[in-house]
Amino acid sequence: HYDLTAVAPAEAHLALVIGGDIAWEKQIAVPGPAAVITEDAPIAAAHPAGTPVHLHLHNHGQNTWIFTSATVTPP
C-alpha cells in the first residue's frame, strides 16, 4: 500500500477468507507509511478444489492498495 491517510486515526483490516473461514488476518494503523506486506499463512484445514477464496480489505480514508498475488503450496 501507499502512504495511508485518514481524518482520524483508525485501522485497516485485511483478511484472507477460504470457504467462509478466516485463514489469515491483519490490522494496519491508519494513517501510516507506505509498506509491502508479505506473509506466509499456513492453512489449518484442506479445502476441496473450487472452494471460494476472498480477499477482504476494510480501509479508512482515501488510500491506494495493490494486491499482487497469492500462492498455494502443498505441505
The per-residue b/e assignment along 27-54, b for 16 or more CB within 10 angstroms, e otherwise, is ebebebeeeeeeeeeeeeeeeeeeeeee
Q: How far is CA 25 from CA 7, 10, 18, 58, 75, in A?
A: 24, 16, 12, 11, 21
Q: What confidence category does residue 52 fall into, taking pLDDT thresholds of 50, 70 and 90?
A: very high
Q: What are 6-48's pLDDT values in tens digits? A: 989 999 999 999 998 899 999 999 999 999 999 888 887 888 9
* Nearest by Cα to 28 from 7, 1, 67, 66: 1
